[in-house]
Structure 1
Amino acid sequence: MMNEDQVKDIIQRWLDTPEEYLKPEDYQQFKDFGSACLTEGDSAQLLKFLQDEKNQGIVKSMGYVLMAPLVNEVVQKEKSLDHCQAAITHLTRTCSPNKLMHSLLELIEDIDPGAISETILTLVPHLQTVLLQLDDNKAACVGLALTALQKQLSRLPVPYTQQQEEADEYGLCRCYNALAVSTKPFIEEVKRKNENCTTTSEDEELRTELLKFCMRSLREPLLEAELNRDRKSSLWLFATEIMVTLPAIQESLSELLFFSTLKKSTQTDNSQSKESRACLAYLLFVQLITIDSFPAVFSPVFVLQCNMEYINQLLTSKKESYLLKGLALYAKSLESVQDNSLPVSLLELKSFYSVPQNLRHVLTDCPMQHLRESGLQVLQLFINKLDVEAKHKFFRCMLKTSNHAGVESYIVKNTRNQVEFSMKPGNANEWFLGEEFLSLLGLVLYLPQGAETDLLNSMDRIMESLNLLRYILIRDRELRRTTGVWEELCRLKDEYLKMLRVCISISRGYYSAELKALREDQKLKAKEARDAARSTRLVKSITVQHQKVSNMSPQVQHQVLQSALVTFDLMESLIVRIEEITEEKLKIPN
């Protein structure tokens, strides 16, 4: 530690030395001097030194090195805050903006992981002051600062529930609101230059950096946040700021969403731009933020077609927030489309194939019930919008690719509904009544594993298939009108029922044997238990071993096996009824 005289000598040497002759060790000594004052609680003394008129040459030359110690002091302590804040403010007005910028960027890069939000909230107002003072490379510095700040904020968890967002435990919401405030002067600058038609390459670069900030914000935190227009949360308000900023910097929302070029994708970080635009579409069409100023010239089908790319992007994710937004955007994009209007040509587009397949994964693999329920509603909505030919093609595609009995049974149920609709006056068509219907029916009346089909796993699909077959046979008049259709239908029916009977016979034999074995095993264990009761030690041993048995109790196993046999009986009764109907129809002349 230096004594007071030594400190005075060093300060006098700094006063007598021109800036260009100052050495690196001088800067380090000055930083050590300031840090020592803060450590010893002499922040008032340090502020007095910095504000002293005769020291302004030193402050202007070397003051920027004190930014980090002063900011850390504000973050770490509640006392002497006023002195430290005043010192920081003085430095931002006195030191070289370029040197301050370099110091602040280093400080952001080295933020303590445990004090990210506190440091950023302290920094941002002063950072704005420094950036506004820059003449050269202002746009580049704005970009570097915003990128560095968002990189640090990406380390914080995004609050998801309303309670988490209101608590804002990690300060992420406050930080993004502070960023929104700090960017306003630069947004206004770009807006003013555009209005006056006096833009330069520097202005265009600033516009690009602000665009990158908006697009990064859309991806994180907004894509991960729960947003609800009925609850104007802090992140919802931040989303509104972003949506208002884009047009303000002359960035058309329709161009970003519908006509995004390779150039724009590069400007907005190519790897992330699709997710950013997906969130943009969600905020616009679901949350309806700035929808009043969005052009109304685009048809609902065009909007759906463009949004399918973003819906697909969201539904490929495993994150709940992404899936919720994808399903909501899918539903909202479909709602405005007229029922039975989407042509089959759309199904040839890649996104119109991929989205239903990803939706199928949500229905079959997603562990969250509310997402599966929403997914099923959206699937039905999509089916409702397809025209008859498109429905036919879509049903065939799903039956071929879904590999899930629940999804397949839902498609078969919709097939029956469509057959019923087609039989009403004025709705007749070849896709669900004529020759084209046979190709779909061939996929419905089909057992993928033949005689080895697991009837329990396929129960939903088989029962729906039998119900469809029974319905068609009862309402046979329309199908008999087309030559050859009825005969081919009967052939498909005979082959299907024949194979199904074989499956039922094999399955019934297997499950009956399992049930018999289980009953015998239970009798044997009961006998062993009675014998074991003669010895207390043996009783204890059996009790311990019994706890290691399979999680499914014998009672549950018995119930499952018995239920399987009842299911087979139900299937067989439906088969018998179908054959009775067929015999009745054969007696009726064509």
Structure 2
Amino acid sequence: MGKAKELSKDLQEKRDTQEEDVKPDDYQLFKNLASACLAEGDGEQLLQFVQDEKNQGIMKSMGHVLLAPLVNEAVKKKKNVNHCQAAITHLIKTCSPNHLLNSLLQVIEDIDPGAISETILALIPHLQTVLLRLDERKAASVGLVLSALQRQVSRLPVPYSQQQVEADELGLCCCCTALAAFTKPFIEEVKRKEGTTAEDEELKTEILKFCMRSLREPLLEAELNRDRKSPLWLFAVDIMVTLPAIKEPLSGLLFFSSQRKSTMMDSSQTNESKACLAYLLFVQLITIDSFPAVFSPVFVLQCNVEYINHLLSRKKESYLLKGLALFSKSLENIQDNSLPVSLLEQKSFYSVSQNLRQLLTDCPMQHLRESGLQIFRLFINKLDAEAKHKFFRCMLKTSSHAGVESYIVKNIRNQIEFSMKPGNANKWFLGTEFLPLLGLVLCLPQGAETDLLNSMDKIMESLNLLRYVLIRDKELRSNVDVWEELCRIKDEYLKMLRVCISISRSYYSSELKALKEDQKLKAKEARDAARSNRLVRSITIKHEKVSNMSPEVQHQVLQSALVTFDLMESLIVRIEEITEEKLTKLN
């Protein structure tokens, strides 16, 4: 006997059973027999049983338990697929929407990890129908469904390159398109009713949660570009259009979220969601035409810094790219030399500068470092003189990276030059406040034990700055106390640097000599080994940092170090010559 006939036979006595009298064992028997029926390929007979007029009582009371085996079979896309789809459609129209909803939520929860997108695409039209049939607690049910669907969608990897998006092998793009279509009638309902009841307000909240979760996953990780109208880009546009449509102004979400709204949103409206929202609004300019123009560029920057910080503190390329782009856009409309020092005293601005510095020094991706350097330069340009002074001091104290420090020293020289032009004089780069900054520039933190090679960039820029200051000494000499302190700092620095150069030159010269002796010894041993057919042990130089290099590269590194010391010493000599020339003229 086929399973379909067995199913019909075993359930004859249940046809007139009232829903409240159905036992759990009855549900399980019904489900097991239906699954077995599908396994045998009897989808057509199962469909006939489901549609049989005599069985509609059973269908209304027990039919919802068939959804799981029917959906799973439909997703497999075997010969039963059309019969399964027809059976599902019939059950969606026949069964209690509350029972259907519970069964469909369980199907979502139990999705096979290898068939996430296929299952979601199969379920979404039926879920929408069931929700629209609900008379009570529709808002809460919509929230449950959206949350369950998004939990599964978030398990799919986000395609990044254009080729991955076009291939959409795991179906994330299709799922996002389906989700956007799924929410349309509920969004329209919110727009139509405008929160006249508590139920309406709850539905609006659930749509808002959906939008904010979507901004975090998958949109924050996706590459979004208006020049490529990918499915993910269109999904982002849908989300951005939906928010103001349900009376959630973007400015309110980004800048003025109330405590009540934050609590109501729970964990959905996170900094990540807002960061993506800010990126789509200010960088990709989605719905920017409807954004209020009353906010000043400085206010927008202050608000966005928190989101920029969050993005730059992450290690993912997609986050870093969005953070850099948002930082750049937030600075773009601010007047040069206008940001006050009070901004730098805010924790968020300190953090963003440190995150940017860390990206410049630690990020392995060159294109991100290059973008970071451009924004670093742009940020410096926007600071006023006092803020620049404070920022430079902070960077010199915290960077511990010669490349960053040399860039800061170069900018200090630029500011000195700017301050010497008519109308630009200030105490921060010409007066008494300049001396503490100069003290950080002309400093060897480890004294005579400073590694001159690692610190070479900063030292060379510092010497060039000192040479420039001595040549353009007229403005600084006008204040005797400032000039005398400057000369004292200079003398102490040059004295210590000479000692350091002497020690380093002696060390590297001995290393070079040892290397040459080692090479001679190695050549002799090789000749001896050739004669006696013995292996020779390789001999390495003692210096840790070059010990793994070939002898040729070691020789080049050591020789380069000695040349560097010569360059430093030649600059010191030139500085002393300038000093003597100036003294001669004054006397």
**TM-score (norm. length: structure 2):** 0.96
Q: C-alpha separation between the residues in 1 aligned to 2:242 and 2:214?
A: 12
Q: C-alpha separation between the residues in 1 aligned to 2:504 and 2:335?
A: 46
Q: C-alpha separation between the residues in 2 aligned to 1:154 and 1:556?
A: 50
Given that 1:212 and 1:267 are in contact with CA atoms closer than 8 Å, whether structure 2 keeps it comes out as no
Alignment of 1:85-96 (within 5 A): 85-96=85-96
Cα offsets for 1:465-509 (capped at 9, x unmatched): 000000111111111122311111111110110010010001111
Question: Which deviates more from structure 2 when the two are superposed, residues 559-568 or residues 430-439?
Answer: 430-439
Shift of 1:4: 7.6
Given that 2:508 and 2:561 are in contact with CA atoms closer than 8 Å, whether structure 1 keeps it comes out as yes
Shift of 1:152: 1.2
Q: Which residue of 2 aligns with 1:107?
A: 107
Q: Which residue of 1 aligns with 2:191?
A: 191
Cα offsets for 1:23-78 (capped at 9, x unmatched): 22221222123222211212122212212222211111111001011110111133
- With over 3 angstroms needed to count, the CA separation of the structure-2 counterparts of 1:405 and 1:311, relative to structure 1, is same
Shift of 1:12: 2.1
2:483 is the counterpart of 1:486: yes
Alignment of 1:164-175 (within 5 A): 164-175=164-175
Shift of 1:7: 4.3
Given that 2:427 and 2:434 are in contact with CA atoms closer than 8 Å, whether structure 1 keeps it comes out as yes
Alignment of 1:46-61 (within 5 A): 46-61=46-61
Q: Which residue of 2 aligns with 1:242?
A: 239
SS of structure 1 residue aligned to 2:38: helix
Q: Which residue of 1 aligns with 2:543?
A: none
Query: 1:218 is matched by which residue type in structure 2?
Result: L
- With over 3 angstroms needed to count, the CA separation of the structure-2 counterparts of 1:346 and 1:515, relative to structure 1, is same
Q: Which residue of 1 aligns with 2:22?
A: 22
Q: Which residue of 2 aligns with 1:365?
A: 362
Shift of 1:15: 1.5
Q: C-alpha separation between the residues in 1 aligned to 2:448 and 2:547?
A: 30
Q: CA RMSD in A?
A: 1.7
Q: Which residue of 1 aligns with 2:134?
A: 134
2:215 is the counterpart of 1:224: no
Q: Which residue of 1 aligns with 2:291?
A: 294
Q: Which residue of 2 aligns with 1:430?
A: 427
Q: C-alpha separation between the residues in 2 aligned to 1:478 and 1:23?
A: 96
Q: C-alpha separation between the residues in 2 aligned to 1:3 and 1:379?
A: 72
Question: Which deviates more from structure 2 when the two are superposed, residues 462-471 or residues 12-21?
Answer: 12-21
Q: C-alpha separation between the residues in 1 aligned to 2:570 and 2:131?
A: 80
Shift of 1:17: 2.2
Q: C-alpha separation between the residues in 1 aligned to 2:460 and 2:422?
A: 28
Identity %: 78
Alignment of 1:293-372 (within 5 A): 293-372=290-369
- With over 3 angstroms needed to count, the CA separation of the structure-2 counterparts of 1:459 and 1:140, relative to structure 1, is same
Q: C-alpha separation between the residues in 1 aligned to 2:268 and 2:395?
A: 31
Cα offsets for 1:343-391 (capped at 9, x unmatched): 1111111111110001111011111111111111100000000011111
Query: 1:379 is matched by which residue type in structure 2?
Result: F
SS of structure 2 residue aligned to 1:224: coil
Shift of 1:271: 7.6
Q: C-alpha separation between the residues in 2 aligned to 1:341 and 1:545?
A: 60
Q: C-alpha separation between the residues in 1 aligned to 2:2 and 2:181?
A: 44
Q: C-alpha separation between the residues in 1 aligned to 2:441 and 2:4?
A: 94
Given that 2:222 and 2:318 are in contact with CA atoms closer than 8 Å, whether structure 1 keeps it comes out as yes
**TM-score (norm. length: structure 1):** 0.96
Q: C-alpha separation between the residues in 1 aligned to 2:64 and 2:3?
A: 24
Query: 2:358 is matched by which residue type in structure 1?
Result: H
- With over 3 angstroms needed to count, the CA separation of the structure-2 counterparts of 1:466 and 1:8, relative to structure 1, is closer
SS of structure 2 residue aligned to 1:101: helix
- With over 3 angstroms needed to count, the CA separation of the structure-2 counterparts of 1:164 and 1:269, relative to structure 1, is farther
Unaligned 5+ segments in structure 2 are 541-545
Alignment of 1:407-418 (within 5 A): 407-418=404-415
Shift of 1:543: 8.8
Q: Which residue of 2 aligns with 1:457?
A: 454
Given that 2:16 and 2:58 are in contact with CA atoms closer than 8 Å, whether structure 1 keeps it comes out as no
Q: Which residue of 2 aligns with 1:501?
A: 498
- With over 3 angstroms needed to count, the CA separation of the structure-2 counterparts of 1:9 and 1:37, relative to structure 1, is closer
- With over 3 angstroms needed to count, the CA separation of the structure-2 counterparts of 1:158 and 1:8, relative to structure 1, is closer
Shift of 1:109: 0.7
Q: Which residue of 2 aligns with 1:44?
A: 44
Given that 1:92 and 1:100 are in contact with CA atoms closer than 8 Å, whether structure 2 keeps it comes out as yes
SS of structure 2 residue aligned to 1:588: helix
